């Protein structure tokens, strides 16, 4: 028996439509049809006039619900993070491990495999952000953990048996050949915490790098005589750029200028979220440093940014309010754009027949009223 989501407005590829029913069965969207044609055997779910949009996909989630992935890279931690962010519309995510020892990277990879095998809702893979980064752009990362990608690290990074592996690295700290080997093995490679020159970035892009992690933050800037990593990102029509839209990580004016340089579907909203998301307690410990939330961003005692307290529906609202984007474009940057970056755009991130029934119901204030992951409401 299919479920029929009725009496709602539905955000489709052609815009928001009314008078439709979304049929869901076995975790997939069967069809989007006229409500009057809803099969008699379908189980109705009244959306009460709400707005049904594709569920959000967050490729950079360090923590949530009071836990940090680095502290305990386990299935239980992944489940807690997923549950915390689901309340804010995230139906797909990559638990993200910041720079740590290879032993911890291995634990995180095995936990991700097990989480997917157990059916933990929303887990799409793993983001390994470091430790292959540049100390000059370390941000909050512990430079004492940094290392180069040798044969041992390469074997580990290509060992995930379930889900997607995203690796953020500094291209100048490795070689184009290693980037190619990672990409050929199915690893998604992004540049971040990098001081690379433009020429180095171009080489990396030509050898399989396809993303930029938190554009503008912790990377060589665009200047008059050296375009740097930012210049390479904005010039490339094909690579995806993650952006943190909280009004603090990057000035909204800078982001609005960036959005004019290339297609919007190559930008994706990310949270870079920390354990405070979903909790009233806005303090936590990160690898021995006390972190607190100030004006919506996480900082250490020196004011260094340490991720965010942002959630995905908040990022969508900010994209509309701060960047002057339409609802359609903001949701696309939170759903189909990251799905495409992960190589999942053919089956996730849209409300269309054959796509995963990962859905988010919003009220008129753009607050999350309900979510579905693989057709299961929760």
Catalytic pick among 272, 311, 329, 358: 272
Residue 346 labeled ligand binder: no
Residue 305 labeled ligand binder: yes
Rounded Cα distance, 340 and 210, in Å: 11
Residue 62 labeled ligand binder: no
Strands 297-299 and 305-308, bridge-based pairing:
antiparallel
C-beta separation of 100 from 144 below 8 A: no
Residue 4 labeled ligand binder: no
Rounded Cα distance, 45 and 39, in Å: 13
- The C-alpha R_g of the chain, in whole angstroms, comes to 20
Written as six digits, the tokens of 222 are 């665009």
> Across the chain, which distance is largest between two alpha carbons, in Å?
66
Whether 46 is a known active-site residue: answer: no
3-class SS string, 18-66: EEEEEEEECCEEEEEEEHHHCCCCCEEEECCCCEEEECEEEEEECEECC
Residue 225 labeled ligand binder: yes
Residue 307 labeled ligand binder: yes
Q: Which residue has the tokens 């490339």?
A: 236
The alpha carbon torsion through 307, 201, 223, 234 (nearest 10 deg) reads -70
Residue 140 labeled ligand binder: yes
Residue 127 labeled ligand binder: no
Nearest residue to 319 (alpha-carbon basis) of 265, 245, 268, 266: 245
C-beta separation of 166 from 59 below 8 A: yes
Residue 214 labeled ligand binder: yes
Q: Which residue has the tokens 């579907």?
A: 265
Q: Residue positions in the annotated binding site for substrate?
A: 140, 217-218, 225, 249, 305-307
Which residues are annotated binding-site positions?
A: 129, 140, 193, 214, 217-218, 225, 249, 305-307
What is the set of active-site residues? 272
Which residues are annotated binding-site positions for Zn(2+)? 129, 193, 214
């Amino acid at each position: 028996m299919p479920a029929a989501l009725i009496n709602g407005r539905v955000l489709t590829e052609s815009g928001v439509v009314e008078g439709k029913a979304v049929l869901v069965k076995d975790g997939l969207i069967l069809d989007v049809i006229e409500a009057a044609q809803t099969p008699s055997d379908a189980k109705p779910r009244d959306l009460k006039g709400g707005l049904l949009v594709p569920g959000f996909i967050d490729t950079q989630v360090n923590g949530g619900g009071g836990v940090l992935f680095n502290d305990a890279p386990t299935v239980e931690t992944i489940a807690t993070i997923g549950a915390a962010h689901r309340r804010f519309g995230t139906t797909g995510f990559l638990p993200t491990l910041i720079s740590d020892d290879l032993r911890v990277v291995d634990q995180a990879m095995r936990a991700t495999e097990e989480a997917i095998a157990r059916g933990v809702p929303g887990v799409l893979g793993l983001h390994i952000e470091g430790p292959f980064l540049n100390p000059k752009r370390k941000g909050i990362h512990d430079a004492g953990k940094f290392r180069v990608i040798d044969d041992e690290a390469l074997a580990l990074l290509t060992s995930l048996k379930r889900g997607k592996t995203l690796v953020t690295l500094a291209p100048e700290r490795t070689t184009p050949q290693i980037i190619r080997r990672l990409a050929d093995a199915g690893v998604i490679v992004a540049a971040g915490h990098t001081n690379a020159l433009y020429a180095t970035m171009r080489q990396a892009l030509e050898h399989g790098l396809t993303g930029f992690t938190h554009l503008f933050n912790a990377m060589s800037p665009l200047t008059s005589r050296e375009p740097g990593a930012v210049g390479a990102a904005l010039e490339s029509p094909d690579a995806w750029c993650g952006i943190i839209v909280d009004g603090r990580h990057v000035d909204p004016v800078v982001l609005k200028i960036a959005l004019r340089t290339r297609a919007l579907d190559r930008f994706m909203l990310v949270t870079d979220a920390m354990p405070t998301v979903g909790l009233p307690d806005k303090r936590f410990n990160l690898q021995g440093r006390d972190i607190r939330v100030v004006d919506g961003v996480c900082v250490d005692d020196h004011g260094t940014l340490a991720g965010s307290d942002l959630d995905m529906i908040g990022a969508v609202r900010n994209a509309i309010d701060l960047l002057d984007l339409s609802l359609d474009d903001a949701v696309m940057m939170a759903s189909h754009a990251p799905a495409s970056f992960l190589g999942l755009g053919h089956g996730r991130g849209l409300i269309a027949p054959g796509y995963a029934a990962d859905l988010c119901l919003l009220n008129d204030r753009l607050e999350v009223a309900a979510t579905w992951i693989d057709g299961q409401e929760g």
